[in-house]
Chains A and B, each alone.
Chain A
Amino acid sequence: MSEYLYYPGCSMDSSGRSYRDSLEAVTAPLGITLREIDDWNCCGATEYLGLSRLPAYALIARNLALAEQARNGTNTLVAPCSACFLNLSKTNHAMAEDAAFGAQVNDALAAGDLHYDPDSLRIRHLLDVVVREVGLETVRSRVTRPLRGLKLAPYLGCMVPRPDYDGRWSDPEHPSELDRLLAALGAEVVDYPLKTECCGGHMTQIGPSTAFSMIRRLVDAAERAGADMMVTICPMCQMNIDAFQGEMNAHFHTSHRMPIVFFTQVMGLAFGMAPEAVGFGRELVDARPALARISDEPVPEAEPARVRRPGRPKGPALPMPQMPEAGEVTR
């Protein structure tokens, strides 16, 4: 059992209920314990930073200080919410990078008898922990009901792979981590090129037409890719695409119905849990009908790819550039 400090964030108790329920259900099979930071406060999302800098960072740093106090053997702080993850890691980075600014933040924290030493915590998103610490082998070994036949569009949104202060993600625009996790669950992962494009963030509140075009683009692309549902790692993305899909449809006179769920939900499903036990049914665009596509028929083992001798194909087409193998460094 690996233990992690845990910062849930506000939405886990409200719009992200299904994220919380499913996360609580999968921690045991994954072999992780999440120790919630006592008396944490809201991270301010993207709102406080827009009003004033130092108070915004101080608000976030209070959580870092509380987590540092609670370390007791582990120094990894996990956040399931993208905005929370980004804010925590942004604050740690800003304090470490600019010592004078770090001192100012600590000056403010001192008013509440708190202190945070920059870089004393490692701040990671839940997906990063599942893929890199728990590992896909462990995930695969827990799968009792592979999601065969279910076509999933991996959607990370922007704030986890970008700006990636600690250099953890395979690419800031086309990261492969979520794809690999979903594939490990036995699902069919569709190529979803918009996987890190923005869901509109707070624009659903302050500039709805901007947000609606973004939501439409994402939902439309998922449909074109043939996805049964989108799978996300961010409560804000889930909320915007799920809850505002109706209003978006009304705005554009369209009739998209693309469900979106959390990656922990499909993990729970593949681990053999009942859909409702991992929060299915709470979404406004119901994802449950699509679950009927999961086939219990074992897929015949694909024949190992034959080593192909490069040959000259018939016809006039020009060869495509040869792409590097996964992980190959091209420079």
Chain B
Amino acid sequence: MVLAESTNHAIADPGRVFLEEVIARTGPSCRLDMCIQCGTCGGSCPSADDMDHTPRTLFAMIRAGMREQVLRSNTPWMCVSCYLCTVRCPQDVRITDVMYTLKNMAVASHAYPDSTAPDFSRAFIRNVETFGRSFEVGLTAQHYLRHYLTRLPSMAPMGISMLRSGRMGLTPPRRIRGMRGLKRILARAKALEAAS
């Protein structure tokens, strides 16, 4: 039967609502609603072993409306953005982009319990928002002191070698000249995003 526009009634299923929200935040062409649960993504993912759910399971959980469990999952944070799932997906679902969206939503709702990954992203962005450039030493030092104190001894030789070979500077990068403009752009973007 041919569907008329009128059949597109409001969908009340909570899973569908959550799914639509993820799609809307990712962009209309992400095609998450087209997932056939084949598992190509989970089979392809280089970090699936460390995920609490495979990407495919996560998509099933989204459809089931398991919002809290999805946003608490470490899966998006284990994603290395290698896009292998995306190019192999038989349904052209933009899986990597969906993972970014889930991270955004987890950060916004403070749902994800382990702060290592979000903190790293925040620290990275703080540098960018301060200097307009990233600052590897500052970032690493900051991050390791907070999350990997025990890792520091084994890292020290590496740090020294990096300094010696001129691949790491101790001083922060020079601030870009257009920093004020960049700040205005980011402020506007955040305001727009909050409003949408």
Contact = CB atoms under 8 A, between A and B. Distances in A.
A and B together in one complex: yes
Contacts of A18: 167
A163 B86 CA distance: 7
Interface in A32-59: 39-42, 44-55, 57-59
B101 to A, nearest CB: 7
A97 interface: yes
Nearest to A41: B132
A113 interface: yes
Nearest to B147: A206
Contact of A14 (B47, B50, B169, B189): B169
B25 A53 contact: yes
Given A50-B103, A51-B122, A44 B128 contact: yes
B188 A207 contact: no
A173 B86 CA distance: 12
Nearest to B107: A51
A163 B121 contact: no
A215 B188 CA distance: 40
Contacts of A44: 124-125, 128
Contacts of A205: 120, 140, 143
Interface in A240-269: 243-244, 246-247, 250
A284 B176 contact: no
A53 B193 contact: yes
Contact of A15 (B80, B133, B168, B192): B168
A16 to B, nearest CB: 8
A149 to B, nearest CB: 27
B134 interface: yes
Contacts of B158: 243-244, 246-247, 284
Given A62-B182, A158-B83, A45 B161 contact: no
Interface of B is mostly: helix
A315 B50 CA distance: 47
B9 interface: no
B125 A114 contact: no
Nearest to A247: B154
A133 interface: no
Interface in A99-155: 101, 104-105, 107-114
B27 interface: yes
Contact of B128 (A15, A48, A97, A112): A48
Contacts of A49: 100, 103
B50 A207 contact: yes
Interface in B70-109: 76-78, 80-84, 86-87, 94, 96, 100-101, 103-104, 107-108
Contact of A108 (B86, B165, B192): B192
Contact of B133 (A41, A54, A105, A158): A41
B92 to A, nearest CB: 10
Nearest to A164: B87
A173 B143 CA distance: 33
- Give the top 4 A-B pairs by smallest Cβ distance, nearest first: A112-B181, A111-B188, A158-B82, A162-B83
